[in-house]
Structure 1
């Protein structure tokens, strides 16, 4: 479906395809007909995933169907002309998954040092919101990681499996950002299997976070909350002598859980998860980027804003947001926070300020802003509801996001 429809218009389109009246659909989601009519006509912004998911469930469609994911990935200097399809082929190459067919490993294994540097390059690209670069590098990196896992023995094999797990996780994180939820799930599942073979609790904890993100991206919010609880039980015995890497993975897991709980509208669990993350951040003592988590007090504060926004407490989000200085965090975190700030500003009809915040995020992370449903929905709603012709900055942004 084209990206120049609002979420409300997609709801109306699927409602008619299902042969449902507004009265029936409104009843299924516990809303009034007036509310649904305004949502379908763009007079109410559908910007909370919990609300969108309830509509998707009632219409028996995927969450991604209503938020128009995935979008076509642009060809850029970073990506070249080989993007998601090449990564899909790499993930679905069954010959690399099992020795049962007797297929020999092709090529010389990379050194562990070389593999580690290449994994770091992909993760750095992800945190810089350079998804084209990460997507281009991942197919070859996955092949090298699998060769290394087969070629090395003993402790080196365990290290190779740990790097393989982090490669799969990098793929899952990028694919989630691109709206490729099913492919991301495959990558996260494979990564968790490799992590378990590595025997590394930190890497395993990192993959738990990735699986939780995949559950979130498909609207399985309660399952993500449960996973965070189970994973924290698994990791908790290691807290006594926890390294900075361990603390960062542990705390970030709860940040993911806080968003899952917010999407489930479970305020008590949101508070509990954020408190656990805050405790880990205080113990870590400062903002850091161990295991590419960007974890620390500032990331906890970012999630407080995001959770408030998702719970509909937009005034709270607006009050908290100015207190958060993201200048020392990776680009991905800074841009994501800006989108939450823009949502809160937009809800208070402060459109010019919200537009400025989105434009700032786009200047840092154009690929991230273009691929995030919230940016597309906000900008499209501003254009649709603007009296007269929108100003040049708004119109040009809408054109770049392909929503008009």
Structure 2
């Protein structure tokens, strides 16, 4: 009973995105369903979507809500909970220790709960979310799970779980049963994650609040790794607000205290320093400071010789590939679009396990093409970014990029670009 407004092409695209987000091949999905790979290929191209039996099997295998494939009416806006990202159930990471999922009734309510969790005093989350296990191992696992949600761009789930996690960490701190510096380190990481999420959503005001809490807890922890990570997100907030000179100074001051003896440092220490240096690359390139950009890149490459953390379940994401990605981004920010595309080309064939980083590569490629007026190539790059991390493409910065590209297509020679922009909710 597929609804008429669900076009075969749209259904095929939903199936393709669900498969890609789960990092499964057409052959893998086909084998699980007992089909030949060509069956999945045909469905993703919009052919054969009138077979309800096949669509039901596909929906069950990939965790796609039936209404996304026209198998059921769309839920009423009054009863729909927060939409699953592109119809994909996030089964992989929910088992990683996140047990305090708040049942917020709307995106606005979810955002309010997160902001409330950042305020001093009792949090709404503490009253509305059942308390989960508060031993240090459970709390550490939950903090790590939120980092994985961020790396895999599952921002909807992340925004739901952060208030409960922060509330439980703060309650555990008040209980006094767990070592205070340890809890401060976990709280700082949770606040860092909240800052990064809020910046993705262009909520700079709340990001300032979150990063202030992160810095305070980082100093209480006395852990240089946690402090470096908090300085990194504070630098991000500064750069986003165009305080690039202050951001560069902050990175340089902190990195000078942490650099050196890389062959004797732990992976976490090296990753924290490396990511801090990469934030310096971003800040200095946005400020047009080529000399500082080159200095930070050189030092980051030196750190990357000693550490590789490039999996979605890693504590942080730092490696030589990530350094190369930031070099591409810096070239785009400096207006060197041709050089950026040259630097990006070999990376498109390199395995990048972290979806957020894969999407970033294609977004920067799209920006470079856009700078050169290659709107068709820019559109294709954005589609690649969407296939890597659908929610990431729906954040404000990318939506504005798509709208700008569509607006510059005055003769509407790229109808697919206009449809894409309209689908993101920002028609030119």
Structure 1 residues 350-359 or 237-246, which shifts more? Answer: 237-246
Aligned residues: 320
Residue 238 of structure 1, CA deviation: 6.9
Higher relative contact order (CA 8 A, sep 6+): 1
Q: Distance in 1 between matches of 2:176 and 2:121?
A: 21
Who is 1:133 aligned against? 157
Are the aligned partners of 1:109 and 1:147 in contact in 2 as well (CA < 8 Å)? no
Match status 1:379 vs 2:402: yes
Please report the RMSD computed on the Cα atoms of aligned residues, expressed in angstroms.
2.4
CA change 1:243–1:84 in 2 (3 A) is same
Alignment partner, residue 86 of structure 1: 113
- After superposition, the C-alpha distances for 1:34-58 in whole angstroms (9 at most, x for unaligned) are xxxxxxxxxxxxxxxxxxxxxxxxx
- Please give the residue correspondences for 1:359-398 in structure 2 after superposition, counting only pairs within 5 Å: 359-373=383-397, 375-398=398-421
Counterpart for residue 257 of structure 1: 280
Q: Which residue of 2 aligns with 1:344?
A: 368
1:313 aligns with 2:340: no
Change (3 A) 1:75 1:288: closer
- Residue aligning to 1:327: 351
1:111 pairs with 2:135: yes
Question: Kindly tell me: are residues 322 and 232 of structure 1, through their superposed partners in 2, closer, same or farther at Cα, counting changes over 3 Å?
Answer: same
Normalised to the residue count of structure 1, the TM-score between the two structures is 0.74
- 3-state SS, counterpart of residue 283 of structure 1: coil
Show the counterpart of 2:23.
Answer: none
Distance 1:285 1:91 in 2: 32
Report if aligned partners of 1:80, 1:136 keep a CA contact under 8 Å in 2.
Answer: no
1:8 maps to: none
8 Å CA contact 1:370, 1:376 repeated in 2:
yes
Quick one: distance in 2 between partners of 1:135 and 1:307? 29
Shift in alpha-carbon separation, 1:219–1:112, aligned structure 2, 3 A: same
> Which residue of the partner structure matches residue 122 of structure 1?
146
1: CA distance, partners of 2:281 / 2:217: 26
Matched, 1:400 2:407: no
Of the three residues 216, 222, 237, the one matched with 2:239 is 216
Report what 2:168 is aligned to: 144
Give matches, 1:49-198, under 5 Å: 75-77=82-84, 81=106, 82-95=109-122, 110-153=134-177, 156-198=179-221
The structure 1 segments of at least 4 consecutive aligned residues displaced by more than 4 Å after TM superposition are 106-109, 237-240, 285-291
- Kindly provide the CA deviation profile for residues 54-110 of structure 1, in whole angstroms up to 9, marking residues without a partner as x: xxxxxxxxxxxxxxxxxxxx94236862321221122124346xxxxxxxxx96871
Cα separation, 2, equivalents of 1:135 and 1:319 = 36
Aligned partner of residue 145 in structure 1, secondary structure: helix
List per-residue Cα deviations over 1:131-190 (Å, max 9, x = no partner): 111111011111001111222357x32222111111111111101111011211211111
Q: Distance in 1 between matches of 2:283 and 2:275?
A: 13
Q: Distance in 2 between matches of 1:377 and 1:366?
A: 15
1:52 corresponding residue in structure 2? none
Structure 1: gaps (5+ residues):
1-73, 97-105
8 Å CA contact 1:158, 1:197 repeated in 2: yes
Q: State whether residues 152 and 312 of structure 2, in contact with CA within 8 Å, keep that contact through their aligned partners in structure 1.
A: no
Aligned residue number for residue 25 of structure 2: none
Q: What is the rounded CA distance, in whole Å, between the counterparts of 1:142 and 1:323 in structure 2?
A: 40
Whether the 8 Å CA contact 1:263–1:310 is kept in 2: the answer is yes
Residue deviations 1:179-215 (CA, integer Å, cap 9, x gap): 0112112111111211221222111111111111111
| 8 Å contact kept, 1:91–1:186 | yes
Residues 248, 291 of structure 1: 8 Å contact kept = no
CA distance in 1, matches of 2:367, 2:322: 18
SS in 1 for 2:342: helix
Query: 2:118–2:213: 8 Å Cα contact kept in structure 1?
Result: no
Q: Which residue of 1 aligns with 2:72?
A: none
CA gap of 1:163–1:285, structure 2 versus 1, over 3 A, is closer
Contact 1:286–1:297 (Cα < 8 Å) also in 2:
no
1:232 aligned to 2:255? Answer: yes
Mapped to 1, the partners of 2:242 and 2:172 lie a distance apart of 35
Structure 2: segments with no counterpart, 5+ residues: 1-80, 86-103, 124-129
